[in-house]
Structure 1
Amino acid sequence: MPKNNSIKSVLIIGSGPIIIGQACEFDYAGSQAALSLKDEGIEVSIINSNPATIMTDKVIADHVYLLPLTVASIEEILKERKIDAVLPTMGGQTALNLAIEAEERGIWEKYGVQIIGVDTAAIEKTENREAFRQLMVDIGIGVAKSKIANSFLEGKEAAQQIGFPLVIRPSYTLGGYGGGFVHKKEDFDAALSHGLQASPTHEVLIEQAVIGWKEYELELLRDNKDNVIIICSIENFDPMGIHTGDSITVAPAMTLSDRCYQDMRNQAIKMMRAIGNFAGGCNVQFSVNPEDESIIAIEINPRVSRSSALASKATGYPIAKIAAKLAIGYNLDELENQITKTTSAYFEPTLDYVIVKIPRWNFDKFKGANTELGLQMKSVGEVMAIGRSFIEALQKACQSLEIGRAGLGSDGKQNRNIEDIMHKLEHPSWDRLFAIKDAFRMGVPLESIRKVTKIDRWFLNQIQELATLEQELKRYSLNNIPKDFFINMKQKGFSDIQIAWILGNVTEDEVYDRRKELGINRVYKMVDTCAAEFPAKTPYFYSTYDGENESIPSNKKKIIVLGSGPNRIGQGIEFDYSCVHGLMAANEEGYEAIMVNCNPETVSTDFNMADKLYFEPVFWEHVREIIELEKPEGVIVQLGGQTALKMAEKLHEKGIKIIGTSYSNMDIAEDRGRFSDLLKDLNIPYPKYGVAETAEEAIEVAHEVGYPVLVRPSYVLGGQGMSIVINDEDLEKAVVKLLGDLPGNRVLIDHFLDRAEEAESDAIFDGDDVHIIGLMEHIEPAGIHSGDSFAVLPPFNLSANVIAKMEEYTDKIARALNIRGLMNMQFAVKNEDVYVIEANPRASRTVPFIAKAYDVPYINIATKIMLGTKKLKDFKIERKLEGYAIKEPVFSHHKFPEIQKELGPEMKSTGESIRFIKDLEDPYFIQLYKEKSMYLSK
């Protein structure tokens, strides 16, 4: 059936601010869907409150509404614009819940809008735990023994019938919120109360616990003719008991027998057809008994999910893009394979490589948090790696995590405490994978590890082989390693720095030079969806040490953009937004734009966003060899946050051109001590400070500058490790911990300006002119990290004198640092005095916010200035903001009810929203001040 030509205008509902359980995978899905519909000549409107997304950019949709995700906002849009259909399946649980609420209020019917991509009956069947259980029983699909409860008494009765251990699963929640395992009777009452409160319908499913069973996911697509295809099978490395968002996952499934896979496949298709009459994407989760391979269904999600983004990047099959076309009437056999351009979309991808996803946590931001993993998702992001084998992909994923590891162990950071290791195996947290490797190094038998972890023997065998190879390598010196053995080490994912550490007394560069002498070179393979059966048109590559190189460099001028890696607190989707605009700008200026990144949730790793995509770790060895192959004009590090910026020193050492601000000038800004010296030379006010490399030096400095003091390291993002202390004892503890966590770092001790206001500026400098993108005033006082503060654009309560000083200091510092492109400045204001706190010579969290508020493509402008192809005078910049824009931080503290919620100098927010007000009399603004115990002085 061809597309439904009655649909001429579609509203896509976004997912709002990033929270734990709902991250930027929905920005990717929404962006793909919008572009897919625009290709069909459909007018696309988007509602989303997140300013940091590409989805809310005018390059994606015809009309963008940066409004709160409420029914009132929906109705406001429908009054203004004729909308024929709404697509709610691209915005996670937030979008689905909003679509249901709007339907219950009769909004869609009132304005003649049809829901496409899913129907509310299907949502009800999948989100209502009892309805889902009953449906599975009716169609003959196995489920765990369970009972629904709508009250405390019903819950107690259900527990008595089912017995312990059991699982509590609240209805209509995201990321497993409110759910969990209950192993003992005495823990049940509190867990039940929490689950009932977490569910918006005050309903929970109490279910038999199948802890230790294997867990799998299938990603499916279904069209209007009831054709269903399996896009990807995904196996969880971690057994049942850990939320899939917190599990290491592998694609395709590694330990599944063909018989069991066919049974699972048939059951998934049966489930998808049973939930309702809809066309689009679907995620189905199963549990398999490892003893007899009996299967039970866990849940089904009739929308794109976190796993959909992973499956899309793993296979090259653009699930959201195709799902959007199915939603407007197309069938699978009417659409083309986006990778080959010659075959149909009605096919199931074939993988001749292995994908590994590892979640990224930020427990360091939540002091006192329960870090044990369970049914409630706690990770803030994830990385994906591609290799020819599971173990190669696993090592590459470890290198991608941005946690200072060079792979899976073998890097000097091993745990040698056997009791601690065994505890970590039994109580899974972020580092259990590394504890498994450490256990093998310490000689713990495989079967002992399996009994404790319940992880499949096949996976454990793979990790054990790494420990064996490490011991075998120690028999050699660098100059007598047999070539075949060296190749085997590289094929197993060992980085040069790991090999150097194992050998001892050699450097990473020496290992690199030796393997080059032996002719052991990294090659690049293409992701083509069809295991090379058909030629691919899309340049989408991963590296390995097997076979011929398929990435042939062109003769064009090239620019490489380094991405921001996994999302985490302090470095989120705003940097992916920046990278995407950087790619577009480079392309517009005639360069071949090349992307390097490892985050499967992002738009930057979409196969058609860059001229060439390397889905690789943003890790020095990988970046170095891509540069050697492609020989670009230069590398952009300003757009990928601290991940990309920390590559600057290596690039500088190797003589590789950095596009934009030079390394030496970036180093002045990043090194807290050098930057403060610069402020002194420029006669710009700054808090009294000193630099320390030991706790003793820190105490001396604190006595000199005076308590309270702000303690902070250099070269970090999101206020990592920053704290305010008021005495010697607390200072000593803070500095010792900092230097332990960040060895070799220098600690800056600033006098803390108590009861000061905070403000910031973002600017672009082209070598001649400075353009201040925006000045923002914070609601919260100094001492609260800028990422956790409400920020108002333009300033509302700063005097003309203060604003003039901020502008003057921004100009002075931009020129002194010889910035090319972007710079963010942060100030403390006290008694009309303006103090400079820091300068960041890169894209910041606030640039997308300002760009959306003023409707100016600032990243695009800054990139062209970095490239040297344009000057500020070449742009006509017109700001369109009427009134004020407010950046609202959003937190995920509900995931950690046990922690202190108090904010401080270390950032804790996971995302943000934007809110527009016409004037300062707006009730929202007045209430904001009331809640913050502040007042507005006119």
Structure 2
Amino acid sequence: MPLNKDLKKVMIIGSGPIIIGQAAEFDYSGTQACRAIKEEGIETILVNSNPATIMTDSDVADKVYIEPINLESIEKIIQKERPDGILAGFGGQTALNLAMKLYDAKILEKYNVKLLGTSSETIKKAEDREKFKELMESIGEPVANSIIAQSINECVEFVKENGYPVIIRPAYTLGGTGGGIANNYEELIRICTNGIKSSPIGQILLEQSVAGWKEIEYEVIRDGKDNCIIVCNMENLDPVGVHTGDSIVVAPSQTLRDKEYQMLRSSSINIVRNLNVQGGCNVQFALDPHSNRYIVIEVNPRVSRSSALASKATGYPIAKISAKIALGYSLDELRNSVTRNSSACFEPTLDYVVLKIPKFPFDKFTTSEKRLGTQMKATGEVMAISRSFEDALLKAVRSLDTEINNLENKTMINMKKEEIIAKIKACDHERIFAIAHAIRIGIDIDEIYNITKIDKWFLYKIKNIVSKENNKNKSLVYKMVDTCGGEFDAKTPYYYSCYDEEDENEISNNEKIIILGSGPIKIGQGIEFDYCCVHGVLGSKEAGYEAIMINNNPETVSTDFDIADKLYFEPLQIDYVMDIINKEKPKGVIVQFGGQTSINLAKKLHENKVSILGTPFEYIDLAEDRDKFGKFLESINIKAPKGDIASDTNEAINISKKLGYPLVVRPSYVIGGRAMQVVYDEESLISYMRQAVNISKDHPVLIDKYIRGIEIEVDAICDGDDILIPGIMEHVERTGVHSGDSISLYPPVSLSDDVIDTLVEYTKKISIGLKTVGLINIQYVYDGENIYVIEVNPRASRTVPILSKVTQVPMVKIATNLMLGKKLSDYTYGTGLMKDKNLHAVKVPVFSSEKIVGADMHLGPEMKSTGEVLGIDKELDIAIYKGFVGANLTVPKSGSLYISLRDVDKDEGLLVIKNYVDLGFKIYGSRGTYEFLMKNNIDCEIIELKNLSNQIASKGIDIIINTPTKGNIPQREGFKIRKSAIEHKIPIFTSLDTARLFLKAIYLKRKDVEIDYTDIKEYFIS
């Protein structure tokens, strides 16, 4: 038992929606923490607003509250549950900041709740820039020359004395939010103003830049007995100046001499001991490449993105051990989970190289600022393990789910020296490929070093790769991650491939199932697919099979070493996958759960005569091929928007003349609506076709007639003969907005019984016609008369975790068992559409708008949200309110509203605006909207665009409604309006449907309704 025997009930706070800077790593760490506490016989209470995670599954904690993570809801849950302790170190910056609010508001004291693990005093010392600086100076640890500022004048005075460049770091923020490097007065004012606004305490650290120094991280763990170990040290390939989340990172460090390694190791332990951290902690250093001088950059007194990477790199379960320490255990009392017979009080040994590369969203945001700096921009990351740096780097590149298989980027092939030097200086997400091309065309290593300050050791390793690009490698063998360099026998099969002589892979004679993962978190393919993969693994194991996972994402639960019977940390490319299949000889492979990444491997697996479990490949292909699918729908008498495929611009123009505008255009075989647009005229169509990438007969552009109406999403489970539909979700925003960016309602609120009956009938005909076994997702549109099929996904979708939780139907486990031979009749759920539960669930998307500078976040056919939250309640309006609040939108009781509508929306917008006026909102508008409103007897004050940003701040605008005519054009008025809203953190609605729904949240706020916060399982107790 833990030393702290007073703990009977513990609350764990999650991290909320996936946003840039705070992604799937907290699902992984939160899940580990819940399980670690639960196995001690302590009751676990989990609060998290994110429905797509494993940690919000009903069996991870004893009670699960899918509720907004704010002071109001957490206090009410504490009041109801009366936990003895609270864990805030596993939910990222969100949970840490909330814990400090609970502490400062004396809520923890009021309910006699202990903050477990790292104390509030430690958190303040680490997170408050001034207190941290004072502590470092008091213990002799060097920090950069800096000031703590709360005003612009203080910043200006510092620069007068110390000069440029300076780094700005806001206190209590994540992913470098609001920070940056200022090289001149204009940048200083802009970044400092933003930084002060971004900090919850209005405080920034302004420090002399050490950009160009090496950035080194140490992952440390300490217990209450003062045992302190280094789990892993990591080196950023990019020097200081690029956020560590955006940098290529290698473990262990490659360029440090032993003297430097030991110096920073000792410093890390000194810092963590003096901070009195209990649990996992990340320490970041800047090291002068020309001397032994170093400075401490910052400390994260919690598990982090880096600790997830360190855990997967070493096999050491940092989150699990941290949770045990929070309960009172010491490191010497805990076991190493991989060897199971050695102590957890040891420093892992790596006899291999681990390399992380970030995944960026710039394919979605073509107008955004792509230069990498101190504010994080990556949505996710991949990790690769091998025996050499070179091979690890190439494996990581191959894991990124792009067309690139080596360090040769085709867009750079014809670049001359001046162009490639300019590209390297741009310091964007493609710099590694630019460096490789520079070496390829003979640019000297010294010249590249002078521009980048990337250590020459790394540059010479890149040169090695370039010089051997066309060489054939030896056969792959598999080595085990054992945490101890082979000193002890490992009990957990966790493998990586490399080119070597000896193969450590033990192949069993068990019947096996291989589940293909979804790779890195990216817009359009998020944590929901990892959720499905984990349940696929668990379902396969429960059915008596050896479950094998192939994935490369270090942030996720699916790559935890104790989830699958065997884990292969490998690129999801056909050569790597086939090598594993040939060695393991599984009964079959499941491709349904890994999103488009795994579905895209189906064709090559089929060609290699691999057994694909579930829906046969021919029917996966039929659903993915628009032409074949259109003919299939015709054969079963179901309507679809009229459309065609175009391989060039002339074909596209001819199709437009047949169909008429507006049209929906998009490439085939994509996810998340990438590069999808609604075009209203021939000029826009020609422009789209010119910009579209890789158009060919094999990859044509899909062109459909745009149908306006209610969009409906149906997820079904099919056994080949019958279907089960746990629930139907209705989108709030009408067609033209990507389903991932739409607010969705369960159950539907505006569909008649006849429409729902038709949806069920169509879903059954399509599912059985496509020989579906497992999961299928169908998106429909209802225009008031007819129901049309927009698309069919022969796989899991992003709504599967939501429906699984709100209906209590384990959709993925059932689908897995159907693939393995069971029928729906073997279960008690019945067939057809299940009866609606006595609750409403509202999915609200969340956008990482602040991080992607220059991106246009208007709603459209291409997905832009990075995550989502769920509002659940028995009352629809309360569920809506919870959804908006969970998405961090401030719901005002009244205030000021700025409106700019495109002409086609003005008549419809009139009633929406009148509703806001009736609630006491003062109306401001752009010139065109102002004139329209005044003509219709609505008082409005004009704000000219040139004054917009200042007026938004001075007039206290609370909400902006702007419906765009065209998006992604920085010169247009609407783009500038949306940019101002993001800069001032004002809720902006680019769809009238969203603005109309937000009124319900405002009505509720004005009525001061008492809101109940309920464990999701309580909804299902009859």
TM over 0.5: yes
Instruction: Please name the residue that 1:77 is paired with.
Output: 77
Aligned counterparts, 1:114-133, within 5 A: 114-133=114-133
Once the two structures are superposed, residues 618-657 of structure 1 have per-residue CA deviations (whole angstroms, 9 ceiling, x without a partner) of 1111101000000000000000001111110011001100
- 1:62 to partner: Cα distance: 1.2
Report if aligned partners of 1:739, 1:745 keep a CA contact under 8 Å in 2.
no
- Correspondent of 2:734 among 766, 769, 781: 781
Structure 1 SS opposite 2:651? helix
Which stretch shows the higher mean deviation, 297-306 or 806-815?
Answer: 806-815
Count of paired positions: 891
Q: Which of the residues 770, 773, 792 maps onto 1:817? A: 770
1:420-442 C-alpha deviation (Å, 9 max, x unpaired):
32122112111111111111111
Equivalent runs, 1:644-663 vs 2, <5 Å? 644-663=598-617
Kindly state the Cα deviation for residue 413 of structure 1 after the two structures are TM-superposed: 7.1
Q: Deviations over 1:172-220 (max 9, x none)?
A: 1110011001112343222221111111211111110011000000000
Identity of aligned residues (%): 51
2:3 counterpart of 1:3 = yes
How many angstroms apart in 1 are the aligned matches of 2:696 and 2:850?
29
Letter in 1 for 2:857: K
Question: Which one of the candidate residues 717, 734, 740 is aligned to 2:694?
Answer: 740
Q: CA deviation at 1:134?
A: 1.4
How many angstroms apart in 1 are the aligned matches of 2:42 and 2:306? 27
Q: Partners in 2 of 1:404 and 1:382 — Cα distance? A: 17
* 1:430-509 equivalent positions in 2, closer than 5 A: 430-470=429-469, 473=470, 489-490=472-473
**In the alignment, residue 430 of structure 2 is paired with which amino acid?**
D
Partner of residue 336, structure 1 = 335
Q: What secondary structure does 2:692 align onto?
A: helix
Instruction: Name the CA distance, whole Å, in 2 between partners of 1:593 and 1:418.
Output: 50
The whole-number CA distance in structure 1 between the counterparts of 2:170 and 2:217 is: 20
Partner residue of 1:794?
Answer: 747
Check conservation: 2:2, 2:40, Cα contact below 8 A.
no
Name the stretch that deviates more: 32-41 or 872-881. 872-881
Aligned residue among 552, 558, 569 for 2:523 = 569
Return the offset for 1:926.
12
CA distance in 2, matches of 1:259, 1:854: 58
Q: Aligned match of 1:871 in 815, 820, 824?
A: 824
| Superposition TM-score, scaled by structure 2 size | 0.85
Cα 1:741–1:339 shift into 2, 3 Å: farther
Secondary structure of 1:780's match?
coil
Q: Which residue identity lines up with residue 248 of structure 1 in the other structure?
A: I
**d(CA) in 2 for partners of 1:637, 1:924:** 34
Q: Take 1:410 and 1:434, find their aligned partners in 2: how far apart are those partners? A: 6
- Superposed CA deviations along residues 850-892 of structure 1, whole A, max 9, x for unmatched, are 1111122111111111222343442447878323101110000
In the alignment, is residue 891 of structure 1 matched against residue 847 of structure 2?
A: yes
The equivalent of 1:516 in structure 2 is none
The code of the aligned residue for 2:341 comes to T
What SS is found at the alignment partner of 2:568? strand
Asked whether the equivalents of residues 178 and 375 of structure 2 are also in contact (C-alpha less than 8 Å), the reply is yes
SS at match of 1:44: strand
1:678 aligns with 2:619: no
- Aligned partner letter, 1:340: T
> How far off is 1:832 after superposition?
2.9
In the TM superposition, 1:636-647 aligns within 5 A as 636-647=590-601
The residue aligned with 1:363 is 362
Cα displacement string for residues 716-739 of structure 1 (whole angstroms, at most 9, x for unaligned residues) = 100011111111121122123224
Mapped partners of 2:55, 2:95: distance in 1: 14
Matches within 5 A, 1:408-807: 408-409=407-408, 414=413, 416-470=415-469, 473=470, 489-490=472-473, 520-740=474-694, 744-754=698-708, 756-807=709-760
Partner AA of 1:409 in structure 2: E
- Give 1:419 shift: 3.0
Q: Equivalents in 1 of 2:515, 2:52: separation in Å?
A: 18
**Counterpart for residue 58 of structure 1:** 58
Say which SS state the counterpart of residue 856 (structure 1) adopts.
coil
Separation in 2, partners of 1:2, 1:727:
68
Taking structure 1 as reference, are residues 681 and 351 closer, same or farther at Cα in structure 2, changes over 3 Å only? same
Tell me how far 1:43 sits from its aligned partner.
1.3
Q: 2:791 aligns with which of 824, 838, 843?
A: 838
Cα pair 2:222 2:228 within 8 Å, conserved: yes
| 8 Å CA contact 1:760, 1:827 repeated in 2 | yes
Q: Is the deviation greater in 928-937 or in 172-181? A: 928-937
| Cα distance, 1:872–1:891 mapped onto 2, change above 3 Å | farther
C-alpha separation between the residues in 2 aligned to 1:186 and 1:407? 40
Aligned residue for 1:821, secondary structure, equals: strand
Match of residue 383 from structure 2: 384
Q: Are 1:27 and 2:27 counterparts?
A: yes
SS at match of 1:781: coil
Change (3 A) 1:412 1:551: farther
Q: Does the 8 Å CA contact 1:2/1:331 hold for their aligned counterparts?
A: no
1:270 correspondence with 2:270: yes
Q: How far did residue 364 of structure 1 move?
A: 1.8
Per-residue deviation, 1:521 = 2.3
Report the CA distance between 1:669 and its aligned residue. Answer: 0.8
Structure-2 separation of matches of 1:926 and 1:46:
17
Whole-Å separation in 1 of the counterparts to 2:854 and 2:565: 47
- CA offset digits 1:248-287 (Å, max 9, x no partner): 00000000011111111111111111123x4200000000
Q: How far apart, in 2, do the equivalents of 1:136 and 1:414 lie?
A: 48
RMSD, matched Cα? 1.9
Of 868-877 and 627-636, deviating more is 868-877
Asked if 2 retains the 8 angstrom alpha-carbon contact of 1:336 and 1:345, the reply is: yes
Distance 1:446 1:265 in 2: 30
In structure 1, what residue type is equivalent to 2:606? H
Give, as a single letter, the amino acid of the residue that structure 1 aligns with 2:844: E
- Change beyond 3 A, Cα 1:61–1:200: same
Determine if contact 1:415/1:438 at 8 Å carries over to the other structure.
no
User: How big is the shift at 1:7?
Assistant: 0.9
Distance of aligned partners of 1:722 and 1:866 in 2 relative to their CA distance in 1, 3 Å threshold: same
| Structure 1 residues 75-114: Cα deviation after superposition (integer angstroms, max 9, x where no partner) | 2222332311101000000000111111122221222211
> What is the aligned partner in structure 2 of residue 282 from structure 1?
281
- Once residues 724 and 412 of structure 2 are traced to their aligned partners in structure 1, the CA distance between those partners, rounded to angstroms, is 45
Separation in 2 of the partners of 1:458 and 1:777?
55
- Once residues 186 and 629 of structure 2 are traced to their aligned partners in structure 1, the CA distance between those partners, rounded to angstroms, is 56
Go from structure 1 to structure 2 and tell me whether the alpha carbon gap of 1:578 and 1:136 turns closer, same or farther (over 3 Å shift).
same
The aligned counterpart of 2:401 is 402
Distance 1:735 1:667 in 2: 24
Flag structure 1 segments of 5+ consecutive residues without an equivalent.
Answer: 474-485, 491-519
Instruction: Assess if the C-alpha contact under 8 Å between 1:769 and 1:872 holds in 2.
Output: no
C-alpha displacement at 1:131, in angstroms? 1.2
1:126 Cα deviation after fit: 1.1
Identify the residue that residue 211 of structure 1 maps to in structure 2: 211
Look up the SS of the partner of 1:659 in the other structure: coil
Say if 1:882 and 1:923 are closer, same or farther in 2 by CA, change over 3 A: closer
Q: CA, structure 1 residues 306+415, in 2 after alignment: closer, same or farther (shift >3 Å)?
A: farther
Aligned AA for 1:250?
V
Displacement of 1:3: 2.5
CA change 1:70–1:229 in 2 (3 A) is: same
Alignment-mate amino acid for residue 847 of structure 2: F
Q: Aligned equivalents of 1:918 and 1:417: distance in 2?
A: 64
Specify the code of the residue in structure 2 equivalent to 1:373: L
- 1:340 counterpart SS class: coil
